[in-house]
Structure 1
Amino acid sequence: MPTYNLLEHLLFPPTFLNRKKLARSLEGKTVLITGASSGIGEQLAYLLSDTKAHLILVARRGDKLQAIKNALAEKEARISVYAADLRNEKEIEALLEGLLRLPEGVDIVVSNAGHSIRRPIRESLDRYHDFTRTMAINYFAPVRLLLSLAPTLESKRGHVVNVSTANALLLPVPSWAAYQASKSAFDTWFRAAAPEWNRAGMSATSIYPPLVRTPMIAPTAAYRKAPAMSPMHVAKWIGKSIYTRRRTFRPWWLTFGQIGSVLFRRVWEASIPRLGKKEENGHHRG
């Protein structure tokens, strides 16, 4: 795990992972990981590779997936890779056909694929596709996957892990309308579906990471020096959820953020126009 600075140590205390329990929980199981070519998904593949599981890694970049498979060739896990753009109807159909033909079925789904975009509404007026593409990968794709796989998961008393975002539980932030709306949409859908799955014998876990140091945040200059959790740290949360079946994992301070969102909502919303003007003036001076 990368070295944290003092503030990051306070914000993201270590997570103890019982690797023996994790290995026992995964023996003979099939795990589907979307968004597996980088960031959290890639680190999760490395974390689970020491178990006797079948890992199915899905992402758009087939070359990156193959490189990961090659790197894990000597590990205990069996690795399968499938290159697919989950926004593409034909590609997601082909993926589902393959998954539903598996003799052993799928036991665990880690819904991690996602797309982030930061763009003010003023700059989005002729970019409706920003919203449709973001909804396609962050909402419609995981809904489609889980609707198709739910019968198998129910029969196997399986487990679904959704890698959401802490922002889904906080006040919306300017310039992130497309991203936050799509992540919040699936988070709400997932939490609504969870009790039904629980009654059917399935488990559901929502993971709420804060900012994570992945390639996704690289285009946003303000985030390069901001406190961020490491992808392996989030992977450990997911690993722990597999053997504990805990319903949520979130930063310890997120509850205080939610309370603040309620108490100081009017103050925050009143300050947004001033913050926007400062940012705009800064761009003009640059």
Structure 2
Amino acid sequence: MQNYTLLERLMFSSVTLNFSKMIDELNGKTVLITGASSGIGKELAYLLADANVHLILVARREEELRLITEEIEKGSAKATVFPADLRNAQQMAELLEFLHRLPEGLDIVVSNAGLSINRPIVHSLDRLHDFTRTMAINYFAPVQLLLSVIPLLAEKKGHIINVSTINALLLPIPNWAAYQASKTAFDTWLRSAAPELNSLGISTTTLYLPLVRTPMIEPTIAYRTAPAMSPVTVAELIGHSMYSKRKTYKPWWLIFGQLGSVTFRKPLEFIIYHTLKQKEPKKHGV
């Protein structure tokens, strides 16, 4: 168990990772991890360091990727650093070309790269780019990546692992429209595509995560002291899914949130509305 508070221990109970099973499952395989330079992607790379595996680490920050690679290659894993911003058409094209040239093929894609924005709509009126950039990295990039590599994954009876959010399954909340819309879009795409992918022999897993203590949450001051899951715990969940092929992971308490989102939708919307009205300045320029 990570260095959790008592509340976090209750909220974020993890599966028991059978490290030997994970190592056996990954033997000789190639794993692509996006968003690999920090947080969940970084911890997953470290977790897999003792496996006989080829890790392809993708992120914008090349220096961080190379530091991670130095540590990983002290173990059994081989790592290839591929610095790329997946929103950049040329860099995405270069990554896809590289993946299709891999002599050993591709076995697992961990779709982890993402962008979060917390901003009220009235502060976004002249910021359409908030929505285009979140959709670019949280939705269009993973769709483009997977559309290209589905034949590679089908050939190897591979596995797609999507790092998602509990917000995709709950009542949407204010100030997170750009983030929630983009994450929900890809979640819906993958759930729709999953039966077709499964028929090709490709397994799919989605992790619906609560708050995770990564650099992504730092800009939101309220989150710095809020209960949050460790990225090490999430890495272990991903490692578990690699041999269990479990379709979804959700916090045990999420079902109550989902029931509440349906049963108490009207009262919740009423409370949210009046809370926002109380915070609303008399003149906000709209």
TM-score (norm 2): 0.96
State the partner residue of 2:147. 147
State the partner residue of 2:76. 76
State the partner residue of 2:136. 136
> Is 1:109 matched up with 2:109?
yes
Aligned length: 282
3-state SS in 1 of match to 2:87? coil
Cα distance in 1 between the residues matched to 2:65 and 2:188? 30
Aligned-pair identity (%): 62
Superposed CA RMSD: 1.2
Cα distance in 2 between the residues matched to 1:155 and 1:242? 17
Cα distance in 1 between the residues matched to 2:101 and 2:46? 26
> Is 1:213 matched up with 2:206?
no
Cα distance in 2 between the residues matched to 1:276 and 1:40? 33
3-state SS in 2 of match to 1:208? strand
Deviation, 1:71, is 1.8
3-state SS in 1 of match to 2:149? helix
State the partner residue of 2:273. 273
Query: What do the CA deviations read for 1:126-155 (whole angstroms, capped 9, x no partner)?
Result: 000000000000000000000000011011
Cα distance in 2 between the residues matched to 1:150 and 1:233? 28
State the partner residue of 1:56. 56
Cα distance in 1 between the residues matched to 2:200 and 2:71? 38
Deviation, 1:273, is 2.0
State the partner residue of 2:94. 94
State the partner residue of 1:242. 242
3-state SS in 2 of match to 1:239? helix
Deviation, 1:53, is 0.5
Q: In structure 1, list runs of 5 or more residues that go unmatched.
A: none
State the partner residue of 2:255. 255
Cα distance in 2 between the residues matched to 1:85 and 1:59? 6
- 1:102 to 1:117, Cα distance in 2 relative to 1, 3 A: same
Cα distance in 1 between the residues matched to 2:72 and 2:137? 27
3-state SS in 1 of match to 2:209? coil
3-state SS in 2 of match to 1:185? helix
Deviation, 1:278, is 4.2
Q: Which runs of 4+ in 1 moved over 4 A?
A: 278-281
State the partner residue of 2:16. 16
Deviation, 1:2, is 3.8
Answer yes or no: is the 8 Å Cα contact 2:22–2:242 preserved in 1: yes
State the partner residue of 2:159. 159
Q: Which range moves more in the overlay, 95-104 or 1-10?
A: 1-10
Q: In structure 2, list runs of 5 or more residues that go unmatched.
A: none
3-state SS in 1 of match to 2:227? coil
State the partner residue of 1:189. 189
Cα distance in 2 between the residues matched to 1:51 and 1:155? 22
Query: What do the CA deviations read for 1:208-233 (whole angstroms, capped 9, x no partner)?
Result: 11000000000101111111000010
TM-score (norm 1): 0.96
Deviation, 1:255, is 1.0
> Is 1:226 matched up with 2:231?
no
Deviation, 1:257, is 0.8
